[in-house]
Amino acid sequence: MLRFAGYIGMGIRPCNRTGQTKFMSCRADRIMRERQDTVPEPTIAVRGVTVFREFLDSSAQVSMLEELRDLVAAAPLLSPQTPYGRPMSVRMTSAGKYGWRSDRTGYRYESRHPSGAPWPAIPGSVLSVWEAVTGLRRQPDCCLLNFYGAGARMGMHQDRDEADFSFPVVSVSLGDDALFRIGNRTRGGRTESVWLSSGDVVVMGGESRLLYHGVDRIRHGTSGLLKEGGRINLTLRVVD
Ligand code: SIN
Ligand code: MN
């Protein structure tokens, strides 16, 4: 049974999940043993990327948004640059032990916001999603918050700045719909895309952990969650 009563009754069916892939290491085996017995069943899987549609109902989205407003007040959004000096179209900030940064120096995790303050704690509602979909007792070290205004996108990339790829990456979508593209473990090749809507949760773990992925575009104004439109994506990762 799910430990998080808030998610029960939202159309999520608990199931025993036993499937492991050859990509998983011994450490991953141990991690799997540390999981709770039951995690919800995803709605769809694309190349091993699992999507839990409408995982958060509208009241859960509104209360999470409240917590995210406090997060952004404590750690204001930044306008990052790529290591090549190009401005990124998303604005971002973080919560947790580490924040993910990008600028001319490169991609990295840092333990403080550029203001000098430590990153705020990851909101409880966000940690609950991690625990519910992964079943892991180990909590994520970083919650990266990306804000997509009209026209923002995210180029194809791998999440590979973390020490241990046996931990999954969990991502939460809030606000406008986004076209999420899933590729391969090397750059290029055929891809598949899914539209993500507010309240959807994506897990990239096991064989899908290192797949290239990106956001081609958002459909501005498709959700009423954010008054001015736009999309928030939260990415949760274990860093070290
Ligand atoms: C990312 O992978 O960095 C963001 C994914 C998303 O916005 O859905
Ligand atoms: Mn990513």
- With 0.85 as the threshold, say if the pTM is over it: yes
Domain range 5-237, CATH class: mainly beta
**Which of left, alpha, beta for 161 (phi over 0: left; psi -120 to 50: alpha)?**
alpha
* Amino acid in the structure at residue 144: L
Over residues 24-40, the pLDDT tens digits come to 444 655 565 567 668 89
Backbone angles phi, psi at 47, to 5 degrees: 55, 30
Residue 178 CA, closest ligand 1 atom number: 8
Gyration radius of the chain over CA positions = 17
Over residues 49-87, the pLDDT tens digits come to 999 999 999 999 999 999 999 999 999 999 999 999 999
In this structure, what token pair is assigned to residue 173? 């979508």
Over residues 108-122, the pLDDT tens digits come to 999 999 999 999 999
Ligand nearest to the CA of 201: 1
Instruction: Please report, rounded to a whole number, the percentage of residues in the chain having pLDDT higher than 90.
Output: 84
Q: How confident is the model at residue 137 (pLDDT cuts 50, 70, 90)?
A: very high
* Span 162-191, average pLDDT: 98
User: Does the Cβ of 154 fall within 6 Å of ligand 1?
Assistant: yes
Q: What letter would DSSP give residue 103?
A: E
Q: How confident is the model at residue 6 (pLDDT cuts 50, 70, 90)?
A: very low
User: Does the Cβ of 133 fall within 6 Å of ligand 1?
Assistant: no
User: Does the Cβ of 180 fall within 6 Å of ligand 1?
Assistant: yes
Backbone angles phi, psi at 210, to 5 degrees: -110, 20
Over residues 193-220, the pLDDT tens digits come to 999 999 999 999 999 999 999 999 999 9
* Span 100-106, average pLDDT: 96
pLDDT of 85 reads 96
Instruction: Please report, rounded to a whole number, the percentage of residues in the chain having pLDDT higher than 70.
Output: 85
In this structure, what token pair is assigned to residue 205? 């773990």
* DSSP string across 130-171: HHHHH--SSPPSEEEEEEE-TT--EEEE----SS-TTS-EEE
199 with 56: CB under 8 angstroms? yes
For the chain, the domains span: 5-237
